[in-house]
Amino acid sequence: MALASAQSTSGIVPEVDQFIRSRTRRMLIDGKWVESASGKTFATHNPATEDILAEVPAGEKEDVDRAVRAARRAFENGPWRRMTASERGRALWKLADLIEKHGEEFAQLETLDNGKPLAVARVADVPLVVDHFRYYAGWATKVEGETIPVSIPGQRFLNYTLREPVGVVGQIIPWNFPLLMAAWKLGAALACGNTVVLKPAEQTPLSALRLGELLEEAGIPAGVVNIVTGYGETAGAAIAAHPDLDKVAFTGSTEVGKEVMRAATGNLKRVSLELGGKSPNIIFADADLDEAAVGAASAIYFNHGQCCCAGSRLFIEQKAYDKVMPKLIDFSQKVKLGPGMDPATEMGPLVSSEQYQRVTGYLAAGKQEGARVAAGGGRPKDLSKGYFVQPTVFADVRPDMKVIREEIFGPVVCAIPFKDPSEVAAAGNDTTYGLAAAVWTRDIGKAHRMAETLRAGTVWINCYNVFDAASPFGGYKQSGFGREMGKAALDLYTQLKSVWVNLGPHGDNGQ
Ligand code: NAI
Ligand code: MG
């Protein structure tokens, strides 16, 4: 009773309380909740308290094999194959409704497991997930082929294309938006009629497992979505290398993306990769500088900088540098850090001890290489537990520094002055990555010219971090390839078949 009342005051809904208190979770294979074949489990933590939240199965190769067999059966022989496109669409829509109905639970699980503020999980993660499934519910009935006029002398042919599912798909997702990344992967794959083996990140498996509990009620048959929890090196690697998967879709670090691609060569499975970034955010002096400064702060601090598209290189036109920097610094110093479940919190902890070590390692490297800390720069003094890092602004950086070249994936931005558009275009593109970029200016011509020049999969003008299920997202260069979201994602999850029908020689029928 005491525990229950303590938890209710902390605002945890009973479903989540129960979910966490049952402690040992199972994973979903072939519609059944199972342990790992080895019986091994691992713990997932609350990064605000460092406490263990739950134990989940440590799935390995044998479990992935089992899940792939189930997904293969579901693809080849199951009811999924016989369902109409409309029924598939309705199941996805129903899934969206169920997630919406349990929205508060999902938001809380996300906050507890990942660390993000509950208010953010409520207004960003969960509604985006719901929208995403609804958007792809609509596509299920619109995955069309074409009829193509062909020109074969002397003979008439009907040529048409069928757009068919790729088959059985492995999907490996990261921890920064656990449920949303699951939605990005599942929405398009299911709308197109594939079956899936999904591996959530080991840091944040809980919301995907909860999602798994809703599949049956949504009308998605057993085996269509299998959720294998486990580490990257074991379960993830087994997915990438699996000989009976037709495709692997991966979101995460560029380094692991390359490994996934190498492993996929064994059976030449299709590969799509959504990887890291070091995105330039460019403020021209003619922009609304108040808006741009706040935009620059949220570009890097949203999700604690743990966004593949974080605006981590902030270029400010020389003339405006001394106006923008104080605003950015002021904003950075005022961000309220704390546990995500605390309503006053604006920024939570980083996801894990490993990520904390990585980000603080970059803070040390920046200082050691001579960058000046203009704001933040370390651990907040008033928080003794949890993986908290202050919003940090580095100034006086050089283009060869680690903090400029490498993805930090934390609330750390490097501010760099520039003189003119061609200089900043070259500097902005001086990176191996190409996921996103942004431009702040009132000059519409300059805005569009920059959008054309920047080598990135997304360019935001006078905004940042705007997403919609209908708009494609993905990388240039080493930020990966393939586009998720929008109509473009259908290409990732379908393959084209060209069908030829001999209609006989010209002349029949008077033609
Ligand atoms: P990671 O790339 O190791 O993990 C992402 C996913 O890949 C997880 O599900 C993980 O279990 C899996 N994985 C790991 N090794 C694998 C392997 N050998 N084969 C198959 N799957 C594997 O990312 P990590 O270690 O969590 O974070 C490291 C850095 O990666 C971050 O600091 C950040 O720079 C970047 N990152 C980028 C993300 C993005 O959205 N583009 C998301 C997460 C991390
Ligand atoms: Mg890793």
- Residues 6-54 have pLDDT tens digits of 344 478 999 999 888 887 889 999 999 999 999 999 999 999 999 999 9
280-461: CATH superfamily: Aldehyde Dehydrogenase; Chain A, domain 2 (3.40.309.10)
Q: How far apart are CA 500 and CA 172, in angstroms?
A: 37
Give residue 252 CA to ligand 1 midpoint distance, Å. 4
CB 476 within 8 A of CB 457: yes
Backbone angles phi, psi at 36, to 5 degrees: -70, 155
CB 217 within 8 A of CB 41: no
The DSSP letter of residue 234 is I
Return the beta strands (E) in 462-493 as ranges.
480-481
Q: How far apart are CA 155 and CA 507, in angstroms?
A: 9
**What was the pLDDT predicted at 7?**
41
Tell me how many degrees the CA angle 503-509-511 measures, rounded to the nearest 5.
85
Q: Within the chain, which residue ranges are assigned CATH 3.40.605.10?
A: 14-275+479-495
CB 467 within 8 A of CB 284: no
Q: How far apart are CA 216 and CA 80, in angstroms?
A: 12
Please give the number of the atom of ligand 1 that sits closest to the Cα of 351.
Answer: 26
Please give the number of the atom of ligand 1 that sits closest to the Cα of 257.
Answer: 2
What is the average per-residue pLDDT within 459-476? 98
What is the average per-residue pLDDT within 410-437? 98
The verdict on the CB of residue 49 being under 6 Å from ligand 1 is: no
Mutual angle of helices 2-9 and 14-21, in 10-degree steps: 130
Backbone angles phi, psi at 249, to 5 degrees: -115, 130
Give residue 75 CA to ligand 2 midpoint distance, Å. 30
Q: Which is nearest to 46 in space by CA: 115, 133, 138?
A: 115
Q: Within the chain, which residue ranges are assigned CATH 3.40.309.10?
A: 280-461
pLDDT in tens, 58-78: 999 999 999 999 999 999 999
Return the beta strands (E) in 120-188 as ranges.
147-148, 155-165, 168-172
Q: How many helices (H) and strands (E) does the chain have?
A: 19, 20
Query: pLDDT category, 2, cuts 50, 70, 90?
Result: very low
Q: How far apart are CA 240 and CA 264, in angstroms?
A: 5
**What was the pLDDT predicted at 508?**
63
Give residue 172 CA to ligand 2 midpoint distance, Å. 12
Task: Check whether 313 has a pLDDT greater than 80.
Answer: yes
Give residue 256 CA to ligand 2 midpoint distance, Å. 8
The verdict on the CB of residue 240 being under 6 Å from ligand 1 is: yes
Please give the number of the atom of ligand 1 that sits closest to the Cα of 240.
Answer: 20
Per cent of the chain over pLDDT 70 is 97
Please give the number of the atom of ligand 1 that sits closest to the Cα of 410.
Answer: 32
Ligand nearest to the CA of 239: 1
In sequence order, the 6+-apart residues with CB closer than 8 A to the CB of 300 are: 281, 310, 311, 312, 314, 391, 411, 412, 413
Please give the number of the atom of ligand 1 that sits closest to the Cα of 274.
Answer: 41
The verdict on the CB of residue 202 being under 6 Å from ligand 1 is: yes
Task: Check whether 239 has a pLDDT greater than 50.
Answer: yes
Atom 26 of ligand 1, nearest CA residue: 174
Classify 198 as helix, strand or coil: strand
Residues in the chain: 511
Task: Check whether 4 has a pLDDT greater than 50.
Answer: no
Ligand nearest to the CA of 355: 1
Task: Check whether 83 has a pLDDT greater than 90.
Answer: yes
Give residue 228 CA to ligand 2 midpoint distance, Å. 16
pLDDT in tens, 351-386: 999 999 999 999 999 999 999 999 999 999 999 999
Query: pLDDT category, 506, cuts 50, 70, 90?
Result: confident
> Which residue(s) pair with 27 in the sheet?
34
Cα–chain center distance at 57: 23
**What was the pLDDT predicted at 152?**
96
Please give the number of the atom of ligand 1 that sits closest to the Cα of 275.
Answer: 41
pTM reported for the whole predicted model: 0.97
Classify 472 as helix, strand or coil: coil
The verdict on the CB of residue 58 being under 6 Å from ligand 1 is: no
Classify 244 as helix, strand or coil: coil
Ligand 1 probe mutation, 179, 228, 256, 303, most atoms within 8 A of CB: 256
333 φ/ψ sector (left φ>0, alpha ψ -120 to 50, else beta): alpha
Task: Check whether 177 has a pLDDT greater than 70.
Answer: yes
What CATH topology corresponds to 14-275+479-495? Aldehyde Dehydrogenase; Chain A, domain 1 (3.40.605)
pLDDT in tens, 151-172: 999 999 999 999 999 999 999 9
The verdict on the CB of residue 237 being under 6 Å from ligand 1 is: yes
Q: Could you give the C-alpha distances from 197 to 32, 69, 76, 245, 301, in angstroms and in order?
A: 14, 10, 15, 9, 32
> Which residue(s) pair with 480 in the sheet?
274
Give residue 176 CA to ligand 1 midpoint distance, Å. 10
What is the average per-residue pLDDT within 214-237? 98
Catalytically active residues, by annotation: 274, 308
Residue 295 half-sphere exposure toward CB, CA atoms < 13 A = 26
Q: Could you give the C-alpha distances from 325 to 201, 303, 315, 331, in angstroms and in order?
A: 36, 21, 11, 10
Atom 40 of ligand 1, nearest CA residue: 308
Query: pLDDT category, 104, cuts 50, 70, 90?
Result: very high
The verdict on the CB of residue 201 being under 6 Å from ligand 1 is: yes
Q: How far apart are CA 17 and CA 4, in angstroms?
A: 8
Give residue 6 CA to ligand 1 midpoint distance, Å. 35
Q: Which is nearest to 135 in space by CA: 92, 84, 106, 196?
A: 92
Ligand 1 probe mutation, 253, 273, 353, 473, most atoms within 8 A of CB: 253
**What was the pLDDT predicted at 30?**
98
Task: Check whether 509 has a pLDDT greater than 90.
Answer: no
Read off the amino acid at residue 157: F
The verdict on the CB of residue 248 being under 6 Å from ligand 1 is: no
Query: pLDDT category, 507, cuts 50, 70, 90?
Result: confident
What is the average per-residue pLDDT within 463-491? 98
pLDDT in tens, 328-352: 999 999 999 999 999 999 999 999 9
Task: Check whether 216 has a pLDDT greater than 90.
Answer: yes
Backbone angles phi, psi at 485, to 5 degrees: 70, 160
Q: Which is nearest to 227 in space by CA: 257, 250, 195?
A: 195
